[in-house]
Structures are given as C-alpha cells and as structure tokens.
Amino acid sequence: MRFLNISVFVGVVSAVTLSAGQVRAQEQMPSQKSEMKSMGKMSMDEMMKECKEHHQSAMKSIDQMSKVMDGAKQSNDPAKMRAVLDQVRSTLVK
C-alpha cells in the first residue's frame, strides 16, 4: 500500500510537471509578428546568453521542486504530499 501511494504521487507530479511545461513553452513563444521581428535583430551571442539564462532559471526551479517533493515523499504523510502537490501545481501555473 505504501509503495502504491508513492507511485501514485510520483505519477501525478510527473503529469503536472509535463503539462505545465507545455503550457509555459506555449506562453513564452512570440505571439505577434512584431515580437518575432525584434528577435530577428538579436545577435547570436545575445540569443545564446538569453537561452542560457532561461535554462539556468528553469533548472533551479526544477531542483527546488524536486527537493520539496522528495521531502514530502520521505515523510510518507498523505496530507503533506497533497499540500506539496498543490504547491507545485500553483508554482508551475505562474
């Protein structure tokens, strides 16, 4: 039973993470031609720098969420697991 709870928890967190990542990727795409034109004037170095900054920020967020989820998983407390899931979900939606 304990293994089943952890498996369900990990599955739900994975699904939430994947769906939120897709939403964020769609939100970050340029929505207007004017935005795309301004990106076209950006040098390769500037694009690489911006990409690196976004990557570092995303990795930091993923690491923080992983630590919180690991703590909840180790506690084996269903209420704490639910609270962490709610926290992760709200963080990903922002």
Q: Which residue has the higher pLDDT, 58 or 17?
A: 58
Q: What is the pLDDT of residues 14-57, one digit of tens each?
A: 655 555 555 454 555 554 444 444 566 889 999 999 999 999 99
Q: Are 68 and 88 in contact (CB under 8 A)?
A: yes
The pLDDT value recorded for residue 46 is 94
Q: Please tell me the pTM assigned to this model.
A: 0.50
CA-nearest of 84, 80, 79, 86 to 69 is: 84
What are the φ/ψ torsions at residue 71 (nearest 5 degrees)? -60, -40
Q: What is the pLDDT of residues 4-14, one digit of tens each?
A: 455 556 565 66
* Helices (H) then strands (E): counts for the chain: 4, 0
The pLDDT value recorded for residue 47 is 95
**Rounded Cα gap, residues 22 and 8, in angstroms:** 21
